[in-house]
Structure 1
Amino acid sequence: MNVIRKIEHWGDVHQSKWLDFLRIILGLVIFGKGVSFISDTSTLQNLITQNNVFGFSSMLISVAIHVVAFAHLVGGILIILGLVTRFAVVIQIPILLFAVFFVNLTRGFSMPNSELWLSILVLFMLILFWVVGSGPLSVDEGLKNKRGKRYD
């Protein structure tokens, strides 16, 4: 636990305002993917069923799609606001790892496979914000200044 605290402290000390704009864009992308999942579940279900590595039933896949969509919607809003950012990011990382290695990687590294490149970029940005935290332009920072302690 001591190493994680040191990483969080380093991230809190070395945060700049331009990273907040990057955090907001990341939150918008994740929120947008959540909306996309909700609006077109049949296409996503077909894609996952075709790449069904673990042999799950279609009902379980459907439930997983709705859980992922909910996690993206809520996590995207939390990341945009900068509210419990590290928690929201940690919830998103396993979803993106699954997307990169089990869904998008099966289509290859070709340039037209933009979903793979987007998933890799978002995964790296999630790891970045797990380290650096929410930043000075966030609800977390406002709460910290108001009450004298941090909630992420």
Structure 2
Amino acid sequence: MGRIKNLNKWANAHTYYPLDLVRIALGTFLFIKGIDIMQSFKTLSELIEPIQHLTGGMAAIHYVIPAHFVGGVLIVFGLLTRWAVLAQIPILIGAVLINFLGEMNTTNLILSATVLLLCIFFLFYGSGKHSADYYLEMQN
């Protein structure tokens, strides 16, 4: 717990509006990607087809869409950012692995790797000073 407080203090001292815009863009992208996945559910089913018969394979399909919806909104507002990003990381690791195990699509690989790196950054950085987390923390 002390380590997270230290990270929050450092992030609040080094917060900048461009980082907040990156956080908001990341959340918006994840939310829109959730809508895209929901509209092309057949494509997602085809991607996850090799693991569909494993335990939890179908649960993985039903995890991705709500995680992107809820996580995207939470990241945009900066509320529970670390938890929301933590929920995205397994999905993004899977997205990167799908490009290596299946058909290689360099655009999707670069996009998913970039979003994964941004999520790892915000996992350590947190939501910053211009967020709902900071506002609620200051109310106490």
After TM superposition, the score normalised by the length of structure 1 is 0.80
Q: 1:139 to 1:28 in 2, by over 3 A?
A: same
Alignment RMSD (CA, Å) = 2.2
Mapping of residues 95-106 of structure 1, within 5 Å: 95-101=91-97, 103-106=98-101
Mapping of residues 43-58 of structure 1, within 5 Å: 43-49=43-49, 52=50, 55-57=51-53
Q: Matches of 1:59 and 1:33 in 2, distance apart?
A: 25
- Superimposed CA distance per residue, residues 110-134 of structure 1 (whole angstroms, 9 cap, x where no aligned partner): xx53111110000011111111111
1:74 CA displacement: 0.3
- Pick the aligned partner of 2:82 from 86, 108, 111: 86
- Pick the aligned partner of 2:59 from 54, 60, 63: 63
Matching residue's letter, 1:96? L
Q: Matches of 1:68 and 1:99 in 2, distance apart?
A: 11
How many aligned positions are there?
A: 139
- Superimposed CA distance per residue, residues 19-50 of structure 1 (whole angstroms, 9 cap, x where no aligned partner): 0000000001111111111111111111221x
Q: Gaps (5+ residues) in structure 2?
A: none
Q: Which residue of 1 aligns with 2:113?
A: 120
Q: Matches of 1:137 and 1:28 in 2, distance apart?
A: 16
After TM superposition, the score normalised by the length of structure 2 is 0.86
Q: Matches of 2:54 and 2:92 in 1, distance apart?
A: 21
Q: Which residue of 2 aligns with 1:133?
A: 126
Q: Matches of 1:76 and 1:59 in 2, distance apart?
A: 27
Q: Gaps (5+ residues) in structure 1?
A: none
Q: Which residue of 2 aligns with 1:76?
A: 72
Q: Which residue of 2 aligns with 1:36?
A: 36
- Superimposed CA distance per residue, residues 71-103 of structure 1 (whole angstroms, 9 cap, x where no aligned partner): 1100000001111111111111121112112x1
